[in-house]
Chain A
Amino acid sequence: MPARILAFITANFLFWPTLIVVPMSFSSAASLQFPPPGYWLGYYQAFFTSPNWTGPLFNSLTIALMTTVMTLILATPAAFALVRLSFFGKRAFRLLTLMPLLVPHIVLALAYYIYFGEIGLLQTRLAVSLAHVCLTIPIAVLILTAALQSFDTNLERAAASLGANPLASFRTVTLPVMMPAFLVAAFFTFINSFDESVIGLFISGRDAATLPRQMFNSFSMDADPVIAAASSILFGAVLACVGAVAAARLVKSRFGASRSPV
């Protein structure tokens, strides 16, 4: 029982503070004033019409999309090699694919600032994507190798015994079975890129500014109140995703329970 009470306290500490961004976003005050003196929708309108915000939103979505495509193209064969094959230096390669998770983002931000400056890519969407791909390869590799390890290779053998060449068996057997893992990997990659703040802050510059960079700058420089609307929109998106997953689980468990014999 005390565990439940302690858990209740933690859950409240995790939940309520963040929720404060919602009333703030409808505030009619141009500052951090809470509770707000009045309510309106102006900051939402500003978020979707001001190029200061739509530009970074577009940049972040583009970067996340490019990152997702590149990460899946690189991580998929790597995951196959790690699970299915043995080769010289496999342990070292395995460690290398996980390494980006170990390096603090501020260190990478500095490294990319210098590196992309040297090769003339600083402040481009491509540079931010390339940096994000390094961060998301580990995530995609972890998800895909876990899924591949539980994949029954007899399915591919069966396809081969029925005359399918490797490409055909990959397309008609492996890909459909692995599809959920690919979707999960793509989703996590996209979110991680979209949310990444520190590297984007240092290397995206004015032209390729990411949404987190714009948010950071509006905290620290001009205290632009549109930040509350931007925060609420991001929070709402997470709420919708988590809520959708929870609802899907609930429906599944109810549905499953009604069909189970006991």
Chain B
Amino acid sequence: MKRGTWLLVLLLFLLTAISILYKTLVLGVSFIPRVEKNLWNIEIAMKVKPSQRSRRIGFPVPRPSDRLIIKGSQYDGKGMALTIEKLPEGLRGQWQGKVPIARTIFYRVTVELREKQYAVPSFLYPESHDRKMRDYLTIDDLSDGDLDAVKRIEKEIIPGGENRLKALKEIYYFIYEEVLYNGLRNWNNLREILDHMEGDSQGKAKLFTVLARRQGVPARTVGGLILRPERREDDRGRHNLAFWNEVYLDQKWVPVCATYGNFAVLGDDYLPLFWNIDNIGDIVNDNKTAIRFMANRVESTEFSIYEYRKEIRKARSWLLDYSLYFLPINVQSVFRILILIPFGAVILALFRNMVGLKTFGIFMPVLLALFFLETSYFFGLAFFSVIVLVGFGERYLLTKLQLLAVPRLSIILTLVVAFLCVFAVLSREIGVFRDFTLALFPIVITTIFIERFGIMLEEEGWKNTAWALTGTLVIASITSVVFSIRILQTIVFTHPETLLAVIAILILIGKYTGYRLTELVRFRELLARRP
């Protein structure tokens, strides 16, 4: 290879590297936008039994906070009206209307959860509570048996003289470490829990509330979901309610979980739903309704475009004034795909020139890969099969009807458009087309592909045609896998200068004059025999 070529390749790689390094190191912009982590789709489903009366059915709604961000919500009340009211116990949704036949109604919400640390004061002022805290200090409906058991335990763990903060920690350690967690045991009262020294999260939370209040620390139970993969009850993401506590320390509610052992820290798996309510039935308030919680993690992490845009605005550099992130969102989504095409071309070049696979038309595999990516793999295959079938039709037009070229091509073009209509109508049902898939669909290239397929079938026989088909599918599959790597997509979209490196790689492939892998097979006789 000539020196000039090497220099060009080197220059292209260098330009890419320098540009990216300048942006990240000198301008201080993130390499790629931060990933929005820990998104969950929460579904609160209510199975409602029929009744002729108009009724109100309540349910808890996640309350936004600095560690719980609502990304969107939707609901389907099957004709019932929805109101959401703000209560001290949390947000309460209320369905109102008639349910003459059994229905399941939904409230869905997408939330982002973050972990939060809380400050714990080193000292608690005595009796600093105002009147509204009184509710969180009173202990009611404890039976004699419960009271005896509680007093016995207090003697054991808090012999006396400790300040309230120390006492609170002793209570926490006792319930977390010595009262075993057993999610299947639902003891009815505190005495039973203390006799067996085990309980579920509700029982442990109840015990904590009582013990804390008895020490003069305002406390309440929190009901919600703990979104741990291992806590999933089934494949559909059904979760049971879990309970933990909050204590009022230095004018702030501080979370405590005596089940999984968190003091003054709430992990990003805790989704609180209601406060100071022991029984979810009190919220639902309808004995003919069963409530069910489903939670599924949103797997495909979205990159936070908004925050990245703020970052590059702040950097104030001409280099970033032309960032693709300033395009309108819908145009961005088209370019996110378009900018991958050159990478598909690299894969294609590798397979054609270094492996030696045959393909149909030069860019058909890349086009197909886009289709696999945009729809589903099987839908893409269905599309491809239709194209192949039309290819057989083309052969018929060619050899049997003997039509002239332009009308014949036009018939194929018409068929392509017609099939596109069929797919579009189907897609309204199954929702595979995104709005810009159609824009990426080159009708003319497809038409010419079909034409070449028909001719190849006629002239080179089905064997060669099948090889080319296989090569096309193999390359398309691999390309679509590469395309689906989100991080690659984001890096390229954030730094379009990587396309210069793509050109450099293509120059290197273009200068490759070594053998192709398939030539080992092709020339095997030459290797095996002596002349």
Q: Do A and B bind each other?
A: no
What is the interface of chain A, defined by CB distance below 8 A to chain B? none
Q: B residues touching A (Cβ–Cβ < 8 Å)?
A: none
